[in-house]
Homo-oligomer: A and B are copies of this chain.
Amino acid sequence: MNIKFIQSCLSLAFLSLAMTTTALADEGMWLLNRPPRDLLKKQYNFEPTPTWLEHMQKSTARFGGGSSSSIVSADGLVMTNHHVGSGQLKKLSTPKRDLLLDGFYAPTLAEELKCEDLEVRILMSIEDMTDRVNAAAPQGASAEQAATAKRVEISTIEKAAEALTGLDCQIVTLYQGAMYHLYSYKRFTDIRLVWAPEQQAAFFGGDNDNFEYPRFNLDTTFFRLYENNKPYQTDHYLRWSSTGATEGDLIFVVGHPYSTNRLYTVDHLKFLRDTSYPTILQKLWRREIHLLTFSARSYDQQRMAIDALHGTQNSRKAFVGSLAGLLDPDVFAKKVDSENKLRSAVKNNLKYFADWGDAWDQIAQAQRTHKEIYVRYTALKTRRSVIRSELFDIANHLVQLADELPKADDKRLDHYHDAQLDSLYLSLFSPAPIHEALEIANIESGLSYLAETFGADDPLVRKLLDGKSPRARAELAVKKTRLGDIDIRKRYAAAGKTAIDASTDPMIALAVAIDPEARALHKQYETQVEAVEAQAYAKIAAAQFAVMGENIAPDATSSLRLSFGTIKGYTESGEKIPAFTNMGGIYNRSASRNNKPPFDLPQSWIDHKDQLDLSTPFNFVSTPDIIGGNSGSPMVNRNGQVIGLIFDGNIHSLAWGTVFSGKNARAVGVDARAIIEALRKIYGAIALADEMMQGHRK
């Protein structure tokens, strides 16, 4: 669950403010079926062919809940970031085999470790369904009616497509509802771990260096897709570049940027700046300290919490940066200015004004409502409540399932539609270990947050605590629940409402107690905020199209996108930062920090230093437009060959949420040459390096 958490936070963080009147040089997360042909031709004299585009599409994959990855051999080898795979590494660890600490390598297929609850999806086709979805909303419908009608139609289309193709089919909403595309994915659930470095090598410099540059991180992990218990065989895989790239080269990033919101109005941004981000940060600061103190008690606890801790630190840093962006008066003034221009253009055209003129006030009203319910809604929200516990999530799902499954598909809450059930069950019935100590601490912390925020005499808080202290209530719920047993979960899922109503399980009781208010707040959010925003932003998007033309990429929506740019250093406080670091640099940086954590080197790197070519390029910065969710995206050259792997953006790229700029904001990648050098000389993973260089296993 942690990966998802990182992404959703990051994506929010990377929110974009300014609406530029013309797209800047390398701006845009483009659709694979609507690439920026003119721009690429004009600027880089590059024309992507349909074959090139299809190959990129089918050689990349959505990893887990929403990260990115690529297929890098004909035998289904998958490359992603270590920080994307670390949730799985944790689950595959045991007290005796700490994969995060020690890394892992399976020289043979037989030694690969099967992940228990991971899914990877390859996008097989894209179809435009805009007309069908729009036609579903009756003329003159209210925001809520229109949204419902469209949801029904979307669900119908998805189901029909699944029945026809056997693929995993989802409608992606683009340009705030100006376009609806049907994405059909081939879904893999048998995925096995092939190789991972020590976390020290992947996350060298820790939270300290996160979002910084220069960097020295081998943030890379390999998995393998299986079909029918055999490695997935495909011609669509990315070839490894034998030469790598150099400064100034045109490169592409293909991945799943999670979400941007470049249309957001000034009022909406003020809501984020003054309400949403501060509330989120309060929770992140609190949670980070909670996880730090929990981790400090013992190595065992450290191992349990490390993934959640990194996710929290990552999000915290992203939100601090994003808030700093919103508190920059220059950025805000620019946004106000561009909004004023667009609104003037709309005001000066009678038809425009009649169609879209009220959109901004509607957004403002939605923000007022959202502000009223925000703290309480986000604290209680099902699946994202402040009670961060696997067992509580399971209980919550079971309670929701019992309510939702009997309903018609289109009436259900999100996450409980038929098309989503396979994924839901995979996570619900996962045999991944659940750590009792962390569960207790997390539930205690969540219950205490509710008491701190709403007061211990709040009726819901009293109901949840049930006459106990947060600690005692958490201990009871975790120690007495039977939801650790997968068969029990299955029985609840099968029996539905009757079983929930009859349950005396204390974890189920917690979920049942929180459900009514969470549900009511969600309804209010859905109808008075989300639906209003959806309609109003569709108007603003339409106005933007009308005034500025369509040559703008749609906001990121976690669907597959193509970004482009060049490898390029930058200047920081007058100092020139070169584009590339090299492998020798990690030894220097470690020495300069007395080899102390988080700058300590794994033993393997110390032992094999002499064998390494220290001048091998290690990390590099480049200009493509990326955002959270792009973690694990391959970086390829004109020939579609792998030259690197996205793993981060520098601190200035946090402002890409606000205005895209190639001045000193950069995407940060691992160089493909460093991956091969490390595999061969540090990790002795010769077969793996050969597989990538040759494109298939021996």
Contacts and interface: CB of A to CB of B under 8 A. Distances in A.
Interface in A263-300: 270, 273-274, 277-278, 281-282, 285-286, 288-289, 293, 296-297, 299
Interface stretch (A324-332, A411-419, A579-587, A611-619): A324-332
A596 B34 CA distance: 54
Contacts of A289: 285, 288-289, 316
Nearest to A209: B296
Given A286-B282, A469-B327, A208 B448 contact: no
Contacts of A297: 208
A24 to B, nearest CB: 22
A296 B451 contact: no
Interface stretch (A41-49, A453-461, A478-486): A453-461
B270 A452 contact: no
Interface of A: 206-208, 270, 273-274, 277-278, 281-282, 285-286, 288-289, 293, 296-297, 299, 316-317, 323-324, 326-329, 448, 451-453, 455-457, 465, 467-471, 593, 596-597
Given A274-B455, A327-B448, A596-B597, 9 more contacts: A274-B452, A274-B456, A277-B452, A293-B317, A323-B452, A326-B456, A327-B451, A327-B469, A328-B469
Contacts of A593: 299
B456 A278 contact: no
A629 to B, nearest CB: 24
Contacts of A328: 469
A277 to B, nearest CB: 8
A15 to B, nearest CB: 16
Nearest to A274: B455
A324 B470 contact: yes
A316 B316 CA distance: 19
A296 B317 CA distance: 13
Nearest to A282: B282
A352 to B, nearest CB: 29
12 contacts: A207-B296, A273-B455, A274-B451, A274-B452, A278-B453, A282-B282, A282-B285, A285-B285, A299-B593, A324-B469, A324-B470, A596-B597
Given A324-B469, A329-B469, A469-B329, A452 B281 contact: yes
A293 B206 CA distance: 11
Contacts of A457: 270, 274
A192 B270 CA distance: 53
A592 to B, nearest CB: 10
A274 B450 CA distance: 10
A297 to B, nearest CB: 7
Contacts of A285: 282, 285-286, 288-289
Contacts of A329: 465, 467-469
The 4 closest A-B CB pairs, nearest first, are A278-B452, A274-B455, A208-B296, A285-B285
A289 B208 CA distance: 12
Given A289-B285, A597-B596, A323 B448 contact: yes
Q: Which of A206, A299, A329, A468 has the most CB of B within 10 A?
A: A329
A293 B273 CA distance: 22
Contacts of A274: 451-452, 455-457
A517 to B, nearest CB: 19
Contacts of A273: 451, 455-456
A645 to B, nearest CB: 25
A462 to B, nearest CB: 10
Contacts of A281: 286, 452
Contacts of A207: 293, 296
A165 B299 CA distance: 59
Nearest to A325: B469
A471 B323 contact: no
Nearest to A466: B329
A285 B287 CA distance: 9
Nearest to A298: B593
B327 A470 contact: yes
Contacts of A299: 593
Nearest to A328: B469
A322 to B, nearest CB: 12
A470 B325 CA distance: 10
A288 to B, nearest CB: 6
Nearest to A593: B299
Contacts of A316: 289
Nearest to A472: B328
Contacts of A470: 324, 327
A203 to B, nearest CB: 14
A8 to B, nearest CB: 20
Nearest to A278: B452
Contacts of A286: 281-282, 285
A634 B448 CA distance: 37
Nearest to A208: B296
A277 B316 CA distance: 23
Contacts of A296: 206-208
A327 B288 CA distance: 22
Contacts of A453: 278
A324 B470 CA distance: 8
A23 to B, nearest CB: 26
A596 B596 CA distance: 9
Contacts of A465: 327, 329
A329 B457 CA distance: 11
Contacts of A596: 597
A437 to B, nearest CB: 13
